Amino acid sequence: MSVEAANWAYSEDFLTEDRVLLGARDVAEQLGCIPVLAGAGQALQLLVQASGARSAVEIGTGAGVSTTYLLRGMVNGGVVTTIDVEPEHHKAARKTLADAGFAPERARMITGRALDVLPRLTDGGYDVVFIDARKVEYPQYFEQALRLVRVGGLIAIDNSLWHGRVPDPAQRDQETTAIRTTLKAIREDESLTTVLLPSGDGLLVAIKNA
């Protein structure tokens, strides 16, 4: 194992997930959805907590792993609006959040295609937007996130390294290309303060300054 791989593995295992998250991961595997990895989830929770977030949009609910991380980072009473095209995902996520001790009203679950739902949400109405759904739609998700997040708010994008494919110029499949396009748009946007973390499968974090 290379030094880089050893460092990554050590960082991923630095904190142990509890039974709620581990159980949600088992359900996610059964449903065929891939949740945020532990390192990225923990980084997301920390950043959300530091921001004092009260409202968030999550694009891609899955079995509720990242929803749990978001809510654990938010202030008491904070609400996540979480979007997923699969009703079964929302059913699983509701159980995950109940097991985590969150009241049902802490998560507003909207079943539907994200690009149909997002335009109906309020401009500048959210402290955090977290993106983890169809990779080919990442550029459009980012455009919506810029509109939805308030000035000073946080945009976070999972799978920003996409299994090591994004840094490799030889990889030109549709999903990898879409993620690269998104990262380029973020890097060139002077209204954002940005960092790309190697946690999990890559977590891009940007703060909207104007």
Which tokens hold the place of 3? 């030094």
Looking at this protein, which amino acid is placed at residue 182?
A: T
The CA distance from 13 to 176, in Å, is 26
Across the beta sheet with 192-197, the strand order is: 107-111, 79-84, 55-59, 126-131, 149-158, 203-208, 192-197
**Other Cβ atoms closer than 10 A to 71:** 24
Looking at this protein, which amino acid is placed at residue 207?
A: I
CATH architecture observed for domain 3-208:
3-Layer(aba) Sandwich (3.40)
Stated pTM of the model: 0.97
Which tokens hold the place of 126? 């959210």
Domain range list for the chain: 3-208
Contact 178, 139 (CB under 8 A): yes
Q: Is the pLDDT of residue 98 over 90?
A: yes
Determine the angle formed by the axes of helices 65-73 and 19-31, rounding to 10 degrees. Answer: 150
User: With pLDDT > 90 as the criterion, what percentage of the chain qualifies?
Assistant: 97
Query: Mean pLDDT for the chain?
Result: 97
Query: Which pLDDT value is given to residue 1?
Result: 84
Query: Which pLDDT value is given to residue 35?
Result: 96
Q: Kindly tell me the sign of the dihedral angle through the C-alpha atoms of 86, 87, 91, 97.
A: positive
The CA distance from 162 to 182, in Å, is 12
pLDDT digits (tens, 9 = 90+) for 15-66: 899 999 999 999 999 999 999 999 999 999 999 999 999 999 999 999 999 9
State the first-to-last Cα distance of the chain, in angstroms, to the nearest integer.
43
| 130 closest CA partner among 191, 194, 183, 69 | 69
Q: Is the pLDDT of residue 108 over 90?
A: yes
pLDDT digits (tens, 9 = 90+) for 134-184: 999 999 999 999 999 999 999 999 999 999 999 999 999 999 999 999 999
Contact 78, 55 (CB under 8 A): yes
- φ, ψ for residue 128 (rounded to 5)? -140, 140
